[in-house]
């Protein structure tokens, strides 16, 4: 196992903060939290609900630290539904033991079948049964990805299982969320947002959250639109009419005005690229409505709904 020196942890904290466009004080706070994770002072229990495992894959796509360092050195992962070697009774024994001991940080990936508990089982036990105690005994809880945060794709219109968010589940069960639950949406969630949020929580407690969305303002305070490199086209009403054209992608269905996250600053895959730079409209993957409604499809060429209400505020004129 690689040993992290204090210097390398500080560098890591600073690099994470810089990637988010945050100033040094946040870098120091994130470094202090990472130190607790590295020294095994804090354990993470990662459970999965109704999901495609995309957020776990995203975690493995982290670049600094890389996946191996992340899993073996940085995150003190007590259990992860996909990545842990244990299975069957051994796995459920580990989960029971961690939950029984308490004091861990719970990460949930995936939605919860609120109306059909048997639709999602972990080691043969309904996820909803496990979450009753897992949520109560956790020090803090992170809903990783849009499915856990808002329902996401499993909650798409029709939704026979009643798939919903962790917040909906906790409210239904009377489990307190205030000061404990943080949403880190994204389809998938960005690995650095998850590690950064966890580290911040360990160092300083809960960050400032959006009162409705429960997302950390540190990472989700601005819309993609606010910092978009194509914003100058938007201001001049210069729109791309087809893929590959220069111009604002709004008429090709861009939902950047409705998606709050920092893609323009930290991008994806270690800062290689991101949706809009690659010429694709933002699909609004961090938005509460993502993938849920039929009238909120991924691509909406020519439509003027949704984004207009927000966008008119900052531009003060109608779309031509």
Q: Please say if 263 is a catalytic residue.
A: yes
- 74 to 6, 79, 195, 213, 271: CA distances (angstroms): 13, 14, 9, 28, 21
Give the Cα separation of 154 and 231 in Å (integer): 32
Q: Which of residues 176-235 bind ligand SF4 (CB under 6 A)?
A: 224-225, 228, 230-231, 234
Q: Is 187 one of the catalytic residues?
A: yes
In 3D space, the residue among 9, 49, 253 whose CA is nearest the CA of residue 165 turns out to be 49
User: Binding segment for ligand SF4 among 1-9, 30-38, 46-54, 281-289 (CB under 6 A)?
Assistant: 281-289
Q: Which entry of 120, 135, 282, 306 is annotated as an active-site residue?
A: 282
CA distances from 125 to 98, 119, 122, 209 (A): 16, 10, 5, 32
Catalytic residue (one of 120, 147, 184, 190): 147
Pick left, alpha or beta for residue 113 (phi over 0 → left; psi -120 to 50 → alpha; otherwise beta).
Answer: beta
CB of 98 to ligand SF4, least distance (A): 31
147 is annotated as an active-site residue? yes
One residue of 254, 292, 296, 306 binding ligand SF4 per CB under 6 A: 254
Which ranges of 106-256 does DSSP label H, i.e. alpha helix? 127-137, 146-150, 166-173, 191-204, 217-220, 231-235
Nearer to ligand SF4, 106 or 276 (CB): 276
Q: Pick the stretch among 62-70, 78-86, 166-174, 247-255 that binds ligand SF4 (CB under 6 A).
A: 247-255
Reading the block at residue 239, the tokens are 């729109």
27 binds ligand SF4 (CB under 6 A): no
Minimum Å gap between C-beta 248 and ligand SF4 is 3
- By beta-carbon proximity to ligand SF4, the closer residue of 53 and 265 is 265
184 noted as active-site residue: no
Q: In angstroms, give the least distance from the CB of 14 to ligand SF4.
A: 23
Stretch that binds ligand SF4, among 12-20, 24-32, 48-56, 275-283 (CB under 6 A): 275-283
Q: At what angle do helices 127-137 and 88-101 cross, to 10 degrees?
A: 30
Q: Are 134 and 127 in contact (CB under 8 A)?
A: no
Token pair 């095994």: residue: 40
Residues forming the site for ligand SF4 (CB under 6 A): 224-225, 228, 230-231, 234, 248-250, 254, 256-257, 259, 261, 263, 274-276, 282-283, 285-286
């Amino acid at each position: 196992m690689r040993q992290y020196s204090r210097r390398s942890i500080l560098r890591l904290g600073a690099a994470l903060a810089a990637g988010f466009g945050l100033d040094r004080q946040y870098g120091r706070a994130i470094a202090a939290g990472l130190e607790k994770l590295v020294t095994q002072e804090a354990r993470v229990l990662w459970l999965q609900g109704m999901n495609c495992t995309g957020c776990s894959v995203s975690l493995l796509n982290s670049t600094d630290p890389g996946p191996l360092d992340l899993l073996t050195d940085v995150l003190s992962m007590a259990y992860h539904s996909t990545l842990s070697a244990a299975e069957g009774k051994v796995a459920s024994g580990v989960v029971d033991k961690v939950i029984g001991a308490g004091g861990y940080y719970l990460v949930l990936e995936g939605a919860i079948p609120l109306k059909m508990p048997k639709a999602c089982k972990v080691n043969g036990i309904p996820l909803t049964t496990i979450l009753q105690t897992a949520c109560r005994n956790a020090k803090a809880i992170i809903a990783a990805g849009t499915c856990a945060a808002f329902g996401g794709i499993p909650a798409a219109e029709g939704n026979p299982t009643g798939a919903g968010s962790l917040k909906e589940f906790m409210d239904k069960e009377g489990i307190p969320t205030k000061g404990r639950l943080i949403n880190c949406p994204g389809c998938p969630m960005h690995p650095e947002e998850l590690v950064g949020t966890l580290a911040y929580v360990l160092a300083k407690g809960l960050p400032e959250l959006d009162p409705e969305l429960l997302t950390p303002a540190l990472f989700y305070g601005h819309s993609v639109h606010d910092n978009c490199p194509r914003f100058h086209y938007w201001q001049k009403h210069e729109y791309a009419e087809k893929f590959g054209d220069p111009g604002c992608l709004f008429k090709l269905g861009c939902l950047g005005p409705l998606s709050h996250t920092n893609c323009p600053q930290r991008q994806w895959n270690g800062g290689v690229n991101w949706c809009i730079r690659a010429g694709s409209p933002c699909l609004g993957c961090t938005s509460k409505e993502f993938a849920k409604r039929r009238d909120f499809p991924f691509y909406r060429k020519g439509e003027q709904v949704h984004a207009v209400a927000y966008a008119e505020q900052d531009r003060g004129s109608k779309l031509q």
